[in-house]
Chain A
């Protein structure tokens, strides 16, 4: 049988159709750009690329530009100045930064401890059961503020908890709202799924045979955990830590609703600067510093931990 002969266009034929230029280096670059656009992936990414630049990089750039504008101004075509940053260091905003970082750290640590057993059970015993997963995800469908006000009603003086113990046993509970611990409670409660699910994914990546092999070679339960499970589940744990840390760092409702005014987090300062104080340049400078701080922490963490390497291992 004869195969129908067919000639396919050669990919490099685009080179001939290029306009003639004198400079060979320029010609090469033009050809490269054209080839790049000829790839189906590159072309397909254009709409997403546009949205990313216009909706994400653009506003971020604006914030950075505003942070160098004179105080209480709304135009960004003036001479750049560093006065906002000077204000930040002189007026004790570092306390707000410190609170944010400290609360993010504490919440993340508590989340690790709480989530490990739950994630372990979820991935090993219940084998990612749909009902259990749904129960854990369901609260995410209710507004965060509503859920936090639920806590307020529960913990309030003469609220659900205090009122119940008063009526039933005559016990008067101490004030539980408007302090740092209850703020952390709110954060742990709200951001639990963001630690739980990556962690449970990490645990399900630990091969059963590795666990059994370690046990067979005489490892105790603790040694299996330390030598095999923890390092092999590390990518999941790291992603969980990253998510919850960054989310807590930028959170605002927990400190406002549960913490009252006892704790001022940096996100609160930023909000105040933009709204009440009408000082956009100061707010932008605070935001820029926060972004910088987060970037340093995140990039520092990611560079120490090669995620690609960890995820693609056999």
Chain B
């Protein structure tokens, strides 16, 4: 097992009476891409400010490579952060921005320039950018410059505070992959903060999900997706179908809202809870097909999502979401049979 580079032990932060972050315990391993995900107000910004040294925890310890760093200010920590606003210096050129951490260390002009051009190249920016003004760069280019500046610092841990949130969808997707690629090539530890679990899934080795100042679940993207700790995590990933259920007999569960009966997931040990089925796990059954649980409904709406089609199907008083690959066509108003096998659902505590 690789050694841990960052460790939080019972970290708490209060602002007056307000508890921003509560009893946080986590461990980040060397060379890992670790992401903290949470909705706004979940305490993730407070967390990262403590991690880089701009705020001190009210209680608990932050350890870096085994040493307690609670009282070490940001300018004496071997870490660096890419800000949400990027915080590029508008009065300096792209080159001077990247060279800034090296200049602080008293590196010679030639060394600085060589390194800056190396970094520009690494981030797919041509040498011509060296003399450009920051204001002449596009959003994506600024992003790369900010990353280059952080890499020039050569930190042991690189923090990111939602740097991609202001970019358009396509550029964000490109940069997510680039970021992951750079992390793999440099072997640095990345700690990334975002409100988008989708973004986290693409890049991370492990994800920690926060809610109201607490960690709800820590796990690999696969674990988060397939074994969410509770319905909050399950919903966070995207739209899901939820049913309030109680155990009827053996493996059967009764929907307390509609009185439908479902076959529960194998090995479920709860007596009641929320049954969750993702839209892509529900099938629209053709003639002759069968599934463990089957219910009838009427197609109400159809949305094309690209390679997939989402259907809103009315079942009694409620609507269920179903996703299929594009090509299968069901018309609005058509009566359909929905079905899923028991291992496609999971049961979570309420």
A interface residues, Cβ below 8 angstroms from B: 207, 209-210, 212-220, 223, 227-228, 231-232, 234, 313-314
Contact = CB atoms under 8 A, between A and B. Distances in A.
Contacts of A223: 104
Contact of A218 (B86, B88, B91, B153): B153
Given A216-B52, A218-B104, A232-B89, 6 more contacts: A212-B83, A212-B87, A216-B54, A216-B75, A227-B103, A227-B104
17 contacts: A209-B83, A209-B87, A212-B74, A213-B83, A213-B89, A215-B54, A216-B75, A217-B75, A217-B101, A217-B104, A219-B75, A220-B75, A223-B104, A227-B89, A227-B103, A234-B91, A313-B135
A29 B103 CA distance: 56
B207 to A, nearest CB: 24
Interface string B130-148: 0000110000000000000
Question: Considering the complex of A and B, which 6 residue pairs feature the smallest CB-CB distances, nearest first?
Answer: A213-B87, A209-B87, A217-B101, A231-B91, A313-B90, A216-B74
A211 to B, nearest CB: 9
A214 B90 CA distance: 13
A221 B105 CA distance: 14
Contacts of A215: 54, 73-75
Interface residues of B, number: 28
Given A212-B87, A231-B91, A314-B90, A219 B104 contact: yes
Contacts of A231: 91
Nearest to B85: A209
- Per DSSP, chain A at the interface is helix
B100 A217 contact: yes
A210 B92 CA distance: 12
A311 to B, nearest CB: 11
A227 B86 CA distance: 17
B80 A217 contact: yes
Contact of B76 (A207, A218, A232, A314): A218
Contacts of B218: none
A214 B104 CA distance: 9
Nearest to A216: B74
Contacts of B85: 207, 209
B185 to A, nearest CB: 22
Nearest to B100: A217
Contacts of A214: 89, 100
B90 A217 contact: no
Contacts of B79: 216
Contact of B80 (A209, A216, A313): A216
B318 to A, nearest CB: 39
B81 interface: yes
Interface in B50-95: 52-54, 73-76, 79-81, 83-91
